[in-house]
Structure 1
């Protein structure tokens, strides 16, 4: 009986294809199957990063989300739908692994930092041999293109989701030495309001699609809250201890 394949979670970086690590590239090109999460009708950022490296003999396995950010009418529930989706695609990947095929699941940024791969890992790591290859995450790509150090000396960094309730977001930012706020999109106006109330708006730096070809750096007060994309983030850097 042929031994089971190996599952790879590959971080492919924040967008710039040159930020793909050598190890991720090696695992990618040697895999029998390349799986990638994608929205309906899209190619996906992770796929765009690695597309040029794929071999004709490799099986490409798109894992198409049933929903993304659209509002759902009751009784539909995003959490229930997406959990069922991860259950389903985990078994699809498991079929390839059971057939002895190595599967590389690509993921923007790092697989374990808000990465979709982690939901497959949770479901399959106890059943199959796995390896996770870390990647350059978006907040580090953002800090680099903004030219802003994140933390100095003994400062701590808080990584926050813009989805947090306004009160909780305010409480966490009020005590943070430095912060990165992700998952903006439709939450942008709420986040900007909190930053302004706390006197942090002047320190805050905003970037869309950091390191990608269509990267855009915008002043905080000039951001259109209705047009802030999913791949955007805010950085509140730590104060320069030498200043």
Structure 2
């Protein structure tokens, strides 16, 4: 009796799923379907705690789904986070090599400051990867603030707060702040957290406080939307300031 040779094992596929800013109803239909159908999901956690990404998708995760939780430390040092992504990618690779697909959950959009991009860099050369885009925090904040961001030929700049505050340590810092805050029609300052007070002071010094809106946890149950002058004294990581100058009347 002649034995038939088996072909090589078909590898599984990676899906990077954008979940949107927090409200599960802002997930795309495709994202919801893929999560419901997933046999394996992966997601980041913070310091061993609950996962924000998983909490958004919780109602779509079915019983029996295998879960890969990656504990990603939020530290200035790059090493600990890179080690967490290395470990997560390795665990995924084992399952992918066995033919299983893996759905990776990412709040917001996978390629807009998304944690998924670090896994993508590790897996893209060996596996088929599909990206499912999501509503970004920027567009969600504009929506809840009811604030159009840019029109026609206006320019928008997105700045992580650590970068803006970090210019204080550079030569000619005051000129650098002036350039950053004055050269764009709209400025988005993200990832406020412990940098909030310093960012707030820079915006005040630039004379832009009246053009600024503070948004915290957009689309979530504990959402806060206030003019920057009325904002709380402290801000979480998931907060943002929209500075919209409105130079173009859009008419």
The match for 1:68 among 66, 70, 74 is 74
Q: CA deviation at 1:162?
A: 0.3
RMSD, matched Cα: 1.6
The match for 2:198 among 167, 190, 200 is 190
Distance in 1 (CA, whole Å) between partners of 2:127 and 2:203 is 45
1:95-174 equivalences under 5 Å are 95-164=94-163, 165-166=166-167, 167=173, 168-174=176-182
Q: CA deviation at 1:169?
A: 4.7
Q: CA deviation at 1:241?
A: 2.2
Q: Confirm whether residue 217 of structure 1 aligns to residue 233 of structure 2.
A: no
Task: State the TM-score, normalized to the length of structure 2.
Answer: 0.88
Aligned equivalent of 1:85: 84
Task: State the TM-score, normalized to the length of structure 1.
Answer: 0.91
- The secondary structure found in structure 2 opposite 1:61 is strand
Q: Choose between structure 1 and 2 for higher RCO, CA contacts under 8 A separated by at least 6 residues.
A: 1
Distance in 1 (CA, whole Å) between partners of 2:49 and 2:226 is 26
Larger gyration radius, structure 1 or structure 2 = 2
The match for 1:57 among 27, 40, 64 is 64
The match for 1:8 among 15, 25, 49 is 15
Total equivalences in the alignment: 234
Work out whether residues 192 and 237 of structure 2, in 8 Å CA contact, stay in contact via their aligned partners in 1. yes
Bigger drift between 171-180 and 206-215 goes to: 171-180
Change (3 A) 1:169 1:26: farther
Distance in 2 (CA, whole Å) between partners of 1:25 and 1:48 is 13
Q: CA deviation at 1:210?
A: 0.3
Distance in 1 (CA, whole Å) between partners of 2:108 and 2:198 is 25
Distance in 1 (CA, whole Å) between partners of 2:223 and 2:51 is 16
What is the CA deviation profile of residues 100-159 of structure 1, one whole-angstrom value per residue up to 9, with x for unaligned ones? 110000000000001000000001001100000000010110000000000121101101
- The secondary structure found in structure 2 opposite 1:57 is coil
Distance in 2 (CA, whole Å) between partners of 1:206 and 1:34 is 33
Distance in 2 (CA, whole Å) between partners of 1:51 and 1:60 is 12
Change (3 A) 1:220 1:12: same
Work out whether residues 210 and 227 of structure 2, in 8 Å CA contact, stay in contact via their aligned partners in 1. no
Moved over 6 A (4+): none
- The secondary structure found in structure 2 opposite 1:91 is helix
In structure 1, stretches of 5+ residues that fail to align are: 70-76
